[in-house]
Chains A and B, each alone.
Chain A
C-alpha cells in the first residue's frame, strides 16, 4: 500500500518523459512553487490552483455537512411517514457510479440542450421573464458552481447516512432529560444532539474533506477545468501534467507529493495544537 506512495515520491525528483528521466533533485518543486517564473497568482499557477482547491473543499464540505445533517435529522424523526422510502431514494446518488452522474450533470449544464437551460426556458414561459441560457463553462463562477452542484449531489448521501448512524447513538433519555430541564427543541438540537454526534461526525468530515480535496472525477468530467484551466483543482492539474502535457511524470508526481504534504499537515494540525495545548 505504501509502495506507490514511495515510488511516487521518488518520481517527483526526476524530469523528462518516462523512460528518459534524469535526476533533477528538488527542481520540480522549486518550479512549481515559483509558478515557473510567472506571476504567482496567474491562472494555472500552483498558488492559484491551491486557492481554488481550498475554496472548492470548503464550499463542498459545508454543503455536504449542512444538507446531510438536515436530512439526517429530519429522517430520524420517529413520527415521519415513508421514512424507509425517502431513505432509499436519498441514498441513490451514492449508489450510481460517480462518472455517470458527473457526465449526466455535465449534460444538464449544456448550454443548448441541457435540462438547466430547459428549466430556464420554462421559467421564462411561466413568469414571462427573459433569462438567457447560461454558458455555464465559459465563466469561472458558473463553472465552479456547476462543479459544486455535482459534487454536493454526489456527497450528501454519505453525510446523511453518517448522521443517521450517529443519531442512533443518542439515547432518548438524554433528550428527555433536557426536555424536562426546559430546553426548547432548538436548544435540544444545538446543546445536546449536535455535541453528542460530533465525535462520530468529525472523522467523517475529515475523510470527506480529504476525498473532496482529491475529487478528480467531478472537476475533470464536468467542467474539465474550463474556462481555461481556472476551475482545475490540484489533482486535476497533476493529471494534466502527467497525461496531457507530454507526460511530465516527475512534475506531476511533485504535485502529488505537495498535495499529500498539504493534507497531512492540515489534518494533523488540530491534533498537534491540541497536544501542545494539553502539554502546557
Chain B
C-alpha cells in the first residue's frame, strides 16, 4: 500500500475513536456547568445525590430572587441592587480592558519595533510581574489605595486590576506586533503615511484579532476576580458580582440554588464575548505573547 493512500483514508475505527475522545471530553467539560444550570432551576428543597443534572421541580424562583434583589435604604426608594452590582462588574471590567489595551498597545509596539537600552530587561521584568501572586499583591494594593484615598471605589479597583492586566497585555501584543511584517508599515510610509498613520491605519487593523483577544482576557480577569474585590469594596451597592455570589454561600448560609442562579446570569455576558471572539481566539493567541 502506498504511504499516501494510507494517509488520506481515515479508517472508521479511527474516526469513531476521535469522536469518542471528544464526546468524553465534552461531557467532562459540560458536566459541572450543567449542574450549575440544573441547580439554578431546581425547586427541590432537599438536595439528593444524583447522576444526571436535570432540575427537580423546575422553577424560576431563584433566578428571580437573585436578579431582583433590591437595596432598601430607609427614606429612599428601593434600588435595583443586582442591577447595580452587575453594572459595577461590567463597568469595572470594561474599564480594565480599556485601560489595559490603551496602555499596552503603544508599549508593546515600542517593544516590538524599536531598539532601546534596557529593552530586554524590561520584557523580563514584565514577565516577572506575572509571578508575584495576585493574592499577595492584595496587601500592598490595599495600602496604596488607602494612601490614595481610592479604597472602596471603582477606580481603585480598576487600578488594581490594571496592574496585572497591563503586563500580560503588553506581553501578548508584543508578540502580535512582531508577526506583522515591517514591509507593511514601510509601504504605508512610502505611500505617504507618517509613522503614526502607518501604525494606526495598517498595524492596528492587522493586529485587531490579537487586540480583541487581549481585551477579552483583561475583561475576563477583572470580571472573574473576587479576592481583591472582596478586600477592597466595602459597601453592598459597590460589590462586583463575584463578591455577591460568594456571599450566597458564605460560611453561615449556603444558598446553592441562588448561587447557581446568579452564576448563570453572570456567565452569560462572558459567554457572549467568548462566542464573538472565538473566531479570533486561536489566531490572536498564536500571534500573541504566548509566543514569548
The residue in chain B whose Cβ has the minimal distance to the Cβ of A158 is B285
> A153 near B132 (CB under 8 angstroms)?
no
Determine which of A103, A133, A256 lies in contact with B259 in the assembled complex, contact meaning CB atoms within 8 Å.
Answer: A103
How extensive is the interface on chain A, given as a class?
A: 35 or more
Query: Contacts A3-B144, A86-B22, A259-B133: A98 and B167 contacting too (C-beta < 8 A)?
Result: no
> A8 near B33 (CB under 8 angstroms)?
no
> A243 near B231 (CB under 8 angstroms)?
yes
> B140 near A74 (CB under 8 angstroms)?
no
Taking CB atoms, residues of chain B closer than 8 Å to A104 are: 32-33, 35-36, 260, 263
> A207 near B227 (CB under 8 angstroms)?
no
Distance in Å from the Cβ of B235 to the closest Cβ of chain A?
Answer: 19
Taking CB atoms, residues of chain A closer than 8 Å to B134 are: 214, 216
A91 in the interface (beta carbon within 8 A):
yes
> B227 near A239 (CB under 8 angstroms)?
yes
B15 in the interface (beta carbon within 8 A):
yes
Taking CB atoms, residues of chain B closer than 8 Å to A100 are: 36, 245, 263, 266-267
Determine which of A4, A103, A161 lies in contact with B285 in the assembled complex, contact meaning CB atoms within 8 Å.
Answer: A161
The residue in chain A whose Cβ has the minimal distance to the Cβ of B138 is A242
> A238 near B135 (CB under 8 angstroms)?
yes
> B226 near A99 (CB under 8 angstroms)?
yes
Q: How far is the CA of A217 from the CA of B227 in the complex (A)?
A: 8
A274 in the interface (beta carbon within 8 A):
no
> B242 near A97 (CB under 8 angstroms)?
yes
Determine which of B32, B127, B129, B131 lies in contact with A259 in the assembled complex, contact meaning CB atoms within 8 Å.
Answer: B131
The residue in chain A whose Cβ has the minimal distance to the Cβ of B283 is A165
B275 in the interface (beta carbon within 8 A):
yes
A117 in the interface (beta carbon within 8 A):
yes
Taking CB atoms, residues of chain B closer than 8 Å to A273 are: none
0/1 string, A177-220, CB within 8 A of B gives 1? 00110100100000000000001101110010011001011000
A278 in the interface (beta carbon within 8 A):
no
Residues of B1-31 contacting chain A, CB below 8 A: 3-4, 7, 10, 15, 18-19, 21-22, 25-26, 28-31
Q: Chain B interface mostly helix, strand, loop or mixed? A: helix
> B133 near A11 (CB under 8 angstroms)?
no
> B140 near A260 (CB under 8 angstroms)?
no
Distance in Å from the Cβ of B254 to the closest Cβ of chain A?
Answer: 9
0/1 string, A81-102, CB within 8 A of B gives 1? 1000011111111111111110
Among B29, B132, B136, B263, chain A packs the most CB atoms within 10 A around the CB of B136
Q: How far is the CA of A203 from the CA of B256 in the complex (A)?
A: 38
B143 in the interface (beta carbon within 8 A):
yes
> B283 near A118 (CB under 8 angstroms)?
no
Among B49-57, B67-75, B150-158, which stretch is in contact with chain A? Answer: B49-57
Determine which of A74, A96, A114, A211 lies in contact with B270 in the assembled complex, contact meaning CB atoms within 8 Å.
Answer: A96
Distance in Å from the Cβ of B253 to the closest Cβ of chain A?
Answer: 14
Q: How far is the CA of A87 from the CA of B29 in the complex (A)?
A: 11
A107 in the interface (beta carbon within 8 A):
yes
The residue in chain A whose Cβ has the minimal distance to the Cβ of B27 is A89
- 15 other A-B residue contacts (CB within 8 Å) besides A104-B35, A168-B282: A1-B166, A5-B137, A7-B144, A8-B136, A74-B22, A88-B275, A91-B278, A98-B224, A101-B32, A101-B33, A162-B285, A166-B286, A235-B135, A239-B138, A242-B135
Residues of chain A touching chain B, judged by Cβ–Cβ distance below 8 Å, are: 1-8, 11, 18, 67, 70-71, 74-75, 77, 79-81, 86-101, 103-105, 107-108, 112-115, 117-119, 121-122, 133, 153, 157, 161-162, 164-166, 168-169, 176, 179-180, 182, 185, 199-200, 202-204, 207, 210-211, 214, 216-217, 234-236, 238-239, 242-243, 249, 252-253, 255-256, 259-260, 263-264, 267
